[in-house]
Amino acid sequence: MSAADLERRLATLTAVGLADLDEAGAGLLTRVDRKYVLPAVALATLPLTDGARVLEIEGRRTSQYASVYFDTPALASYLGAAHRRRGRYKVRTRTYADSGDCFVEVKTRGARGSTVKLRQPHDGAAHELTDDARRFTTSTLGPARPLDGPLRPTLANRYRRTTLLVDGGRPGAIARTTIDTDLVWVDVETGDERPLGPLVVIETKTGASPSVTDRLLWRHGHRPVRISKYGTGMAVLHPELPLTPWRRVLDRHIEPYERLTAGV
């Protein structure tokens, strides 16, 4: 399915504004995330939009996102994820390119594998953490996750996102489905780029119950995978790093481990 095909399908949906989306999904800052990697052509046959409402901002139903991830010199954030450590975390700025709005976000792991995300508006450059952003990060991480060094930008990415509001899988529950296309990873230090290629990343963000999107994908043979826009991107651009959690998705969807590490 081309971007134009997706746009035509989205045009038939009922729109939801950002304020209503945030109100409906207020409880999803603490949530269960499931991620799927599919060939872009699969969007042509999957009825992902059935019964859904689509986020629309100033007439746009897809938006350009850009993120910059920050890590310590020892890559504590990356290695925490690579080794599946209990206190792992991610720190990033996220820019909504269409509006220019930027936030600093801190993601940690909660109970039973849930994701906890806190954020605040960021008034500095996307590649820099202001003093206020650093205080927010330190406060959010708390004493259980002390930083082992200063945070610096390590990886950037950009992609296009469509956000759907869908049935949460139980009475009265709602969930979000995001469809990300045109993902490109960028090494901040070298400027090297690596596109994901003709693939889409679908994420479901739910409460405890799987959403209708999850059940639809399962019926069509698609299962959740471990993919992280930070972790997988770092593994692709720096294959000398430990990459065990993402090896399966690399082998199956992106680039086989043996070929990726051939020159390491």
Residue 195 is which amino acid?
P
Q: What is the CATH number of the domain that holds 180?
A: 2.40.320.10
Structural domain boundaries, residue 213: 3-260
pLDDT of residue 172: 64
pLDDT at residue 238 in the model? 95
Residue 101 in this model has a pLDDT that exceeds 90: yes
Cα–Cα distance, 256 to 249 (Å, whole number): 9
Q: What is the pLDDT of residues 212-224, one digit of tens each?
A: 999 999 999 999 9
Grade residue 50 by pLDDT with cuts at 50, 70 and 90.
confident
User: What is the overall mean pLDDT for the chain?
Assistant: 89
pLDDT at 151: 98
Q: DSSP E strands: which ranges in the chain?
A: 14-16, 30-39, 53-55, 63-71, 89-96, 101-109, 115-121, 152-167, 174-187, 193-195, 199-206
Instruction: State the DSSP string of 235-264.
Output: HHH-TTS--GGGHHHIIIII--HHHHTTT-
- Tell me what pLDDT residue 154 has: 98
Instruction: Please give the radius of gyration of the chain, using alpha carbons only, rounded to the nearest integer.
Output: 18
- With a cut of 90, say whether residue 51 has pLDDT above it: no
Q: What percent of the chain shows pLDDT beyond 70?
A: 91
pTM: 0.91
Phi, psi of 15 (to 5 degrees): -85, 150
pLDDT confidence bin for 32, thresholds 50/70/90: confident
| pLDDT interval class at 73 (50, 70, 90) | very high
Q: How many domains does the chain have?
A: 1
Residue 1 pLDDT greater than 60, yes or no: no
